[in-house]
Chains A and B, each alone.
Chain A
Amino acid sequence: MHKKKLTRTLAPLAAIIAVMLIYMAPMAFSQEDMVVVPTSDFNAPERPAAMFKHDAHNELAGLEDCVVCHHGKTDAGLIDLENSSDGESCSSCHPVKPENGATPLMRAYHLQCTTCHADALKGPVACGECHKK
């Protein structure tokens, strides 16, 4: 009796969630609809994800060249601004806890955004400006 009732309630709920997931899946991967910096690699992030609308940002910032953000890596292990890493996820080179001395993901994110904003005198730099509640 109870079991039946439970299934009856849960089934539609599951369906709705499934539809939502299917609907939202592309959003996570397509930059067009990106609204926050990807945080799926972080285990229990402490702050809300940083607001980031990819296309709007680039339009506003006048960024056309992907490599400015999606930099590559030189043989010496430094930032390579010639070869773009566009298409690869940041965490493929910047794991959350790197063992090879690479810059960890959080630090890479923070440096990537705030350094550029500070230099450009534009865009959010303080914690609460990106990690909005």
Chain B
Amino acid sequence: MHELYNFVSGPLAWVAGAFFVLGSIYRLVSMYILAKRKDGSSLEYMSLHYSLRSIIRWLIPFSTMGWKADPLMTVTTFAFHICFIAVAVFLSGHVVVWNTAFGFDMWSLPTQAGDIISFVVIAACAIFALRRFMLPHVKNVTKPKDWFALTLVVLPFLTGVLAYHQMGPSLLMTTLHILSGELLLALIPFTRLSHALFTVFTRAYMGSEFGAVRHTRDW
């Protein structure tokens, strides 16, 4: 068990990190090269002003047609993304890892708050799952890929909560938690979760197209 833990928390963490960083760079660079080669007539209209206008607008809940269409989804997705980042980076347990491994000394979430927002993420995933089960227009287009991505995301949170609340063998739960977190990190560039890499560009392009060519707004 110690060997596994050492492997998972040592070399495998670097491998997962490398997959994430190099994978992301690879995906972004190859996408950019492809865009340069094939989408010149779209790239030409990219505008920083309209990109930011669109990105900022869509970062405000309920300020777009899309965010007004389904309030539950809007609340859920905002809560999910904010809490996801907060937990991944600022959870006190994680900050200790950054501190022990790299010597960073950074602000962390109060332990209680971290616990609560981890549950928020799990609840949000549950709502995502329920939408996929229950809403016909979501169910209709849900593919195994979507379930896979959702599972990837929820696993580190489930195991994390179990490990934190010391349910089940601590070492095993922690090992599983790290393992699932690494799986998530490594697969972000290669699954549906790649929207984390591309959304800023698709949003920016849509903003530019609507602002610079169509002289109207994209929200």
How many chain A residues touch B (CB < 8 A): the figure is 20
A132 within 8 A of B: yes
B3 and A121 within 8 A (CB): yes
Query: Please, what's the 1-or-0 string for B91-118, where 1 marks a CB less than 8 Å from any CB in chain A?
Result: 0110010011001010010110000000
Q: Which residues of A contact B26 (CB under 8 A)?
A: none
**Which of B37-45, B57-65, B121-129, B162-170 contacts its partner?**
B162-170
Q: Are B103 and A107 in contact (CB under 8 A)?
A: yes
Which residues of B are found within 8 Å of A117, using beta-carbon distances? 2
Q: Which residues of A contact B174 (CB under 8 A)?
A: 126-129
Is B105 touching A110 in the complex (CB atoms < 8 A)? no
Flag whether A93 is at the interface (Cβ < 8 A): no
B157 to A: closest C-beta gap in Å: 16
* A84 CB–B CB distance under 8 Å: no
B96: chain A residues at CB < 8 Å are 106, 110, 127
On whether the beta carbons of B171 and A132 are closer than 8 Å, the reply is: no
Instruction: Tell whether, in the assembled complex, residue B173 and residue A128 are in contact, meaning their CB atoms are under 8 Å apart.
Output: yes
CB distance from B171 to the nearest CB of A (A): 5
Establish whether residues A133 and B110, one from each chain, have CB atoms under 8 Å apart when the complex forms: no
Contact B105 A121 (CB under 8 A): no
Cβ distance B137 to chain A, nearest Cβ, rounded Å: 42
A129 to chain B minimum Cβ distance, whole angstroms, is 5
Contact B171 A110 (CB under 8 A): no
Contacts of B119 in A (CB 8 A): none
- Complex CA gap A46/B115 in Å reads 12
**Chain A residues within 8 Å of B6, by CB:** 118, 121, 125
Q: Is A104 on the interface with B (CB-CB < 8 A)?
A: yes
Assuming the contacts A121-B2, A128-B164, A128-B166, asked whether A111 and B100 have C-beta atoms less than 8 A apart, the reply is: yes
Residue contact A129 to B170, C-beta cutoff 8 Å: yes
Q: Quick check: B2 and A126 within 8 Å, CB to CB?
A: no
A77 to B175, CA, bound (A): 34
Q: Compute how far the CA of A118 lies from the CA of B93 in the bound complex, rounded to whole angstroms.
A: 18
Does A46 lie within 8 Å of B3, measured CB to CB?
Answer: no
Tell me whether B110 and A46 are in contact (CB under 8 A). yes
Tell me if A126 and B111 are in contact (CB < 8 A): no
- Bitwise interface map of A from 97 to 111 toward B, beta carbon under 8 Å scored 1, else 0: 000000010110011
Q: Is the CB of B99 within 8 A of A106?
A: yes
Q: Which residues of A contact B (CB under 8 A)?
A: 46-47, 104, 106-107, 110-111, 114, 117-118, 121-122, 124-129, 132-133
- List 4 additional contacts besides A104-B99, A125-B171, A129-B174; criterion CB under 8 Å: A107-B99, A110-B99, A126-B174, A127-B93
| Shortest 7 CB-CB contacts between residues of A and residues of B | A126-B174, A128-B170, A121-B2, A128-B166, A110-B100, A46-B111, A129-B170
Binding site for A on B (CB under 8 A): 2-3, 5-6, 9, 92-93, 96, 99-100, 103, 105, 108, 110-111, 163-166, 170-171, 173-175
